[in-house]
Amino acid sequence: MPSYLTLGGILGGTTLALFLIRKYMSRKWGSFTSDLKLDGKVIIITGGNTGLGAEVAKVMAAKGATLILACRNWDRTKDFLAQLRKSSGNNDVHFMKLDLASLQSVREFVQEFQDKYNRLDILVCNAGVWMPMEKNLKTQDGFEIHVGTNHLGHFLLTNLLLDLLKMTANSRTVVVSSSLMRTGRFDPADFDNFHEGRVPEKKAGFAPTGYCDSKLMNALFTRKLAEVVPSMMSVCVCPGFCGTELGRHVQMPWYKKMFFPIVGLLFMRSAFRGAQNITFGALKESENLVNGGFYRECEISEDDMKRLDKFDKDELWKLSAQYTNLAE
């Protein structure tokens, strides 16, 4: 009997400790709500059918926006779209096909959008991929899968939509990055980010180097975009470590799978909670934002802004424009 009591005490103490640690960690998480109505506003959310994008879509639809879910797959979107229309009471929510891993698909999406709409109030560049580097995957145009999809696809999309964004008063672009950009690198003289990607070091972290580099590019792109179009608010946000489908292609060894639930319990927030950082970037009053700023937990991250100063955003823009044939 004493052994059972001892075991129960250990389990109870451990559970309490984990609960207290999670509660402490969650106090730092960004939180944002807004009473702003969006009737008459046109919003695009890439990857708006799942994860963070879906949570942002719920907020925007409920506020009355004309909402475009820019996604790759109709079959993976149709059920969510029907549920979203029903739950929000907003039938002005639509699917438009967009595959960011294909520059041709990006151009076709923009043409279709321009044929239907004459304004764009908010562009949320949210969609992304996370793939093991050893798979050596490429986009349809031959770019490293993370850089080609997460960065170049959004770079071209945003630039092709700039005329509409500039024509729309108080328009805004929100680019979703990650704190993993802190381990990202961009150095064209040292390695080819765009085609081959950065080879992981011997003791590489859990995150693919291509993903980290693409998230760094997202942040650098946002800073440069604020210079190119100073009349439009452009912000980059980190949603935090969230429970989404992003890592669904990763195969973990059994021993890591054993510990992952504990890690998730301590540090992982829900997609709903993480999406509040994106909603913050989209709906916070412009006078309370820094154009080109990098935000974590709904606050400007001065440390990350200083880190971004070390990289050449002008060279990134130049190469991105070249590889996407932007002038065509």
User: What DSSP assignment string belongs to 15-69?
Assistant: HHHHHHHHHHHHTTS---------TT-EEEEETTTSHHHHHHHHHHHHTT-EEEE
User: Amino acid letter at 269?
Assistant: R
User: What DSSP assignment string belongs to 197-231?
Assistant: -PPPPTT--SS-HHHHHHHHHHHHHHHHHHHH-TT
Q: Which of 24, 211, 255, 323 is catalytic?
A: 211
Report how far residue 181's alpha carbon sits from residue 216's, in angstroms, rounded to the nearest whole number: 4
Of all residues in the chain, what percent are helix, strand and coil, respectively (each to 5)?
Answer: 50, 15, 40
CA distances for 285 relative to 125, 170, 248, 296, angstroms: 19, 10, 35, 17
The rounded Cα 128 to chain-centroid distance in angstroms is 6
Q: Active-site residue 295, yes or no?
A: no
Residues marked active site are found at 211
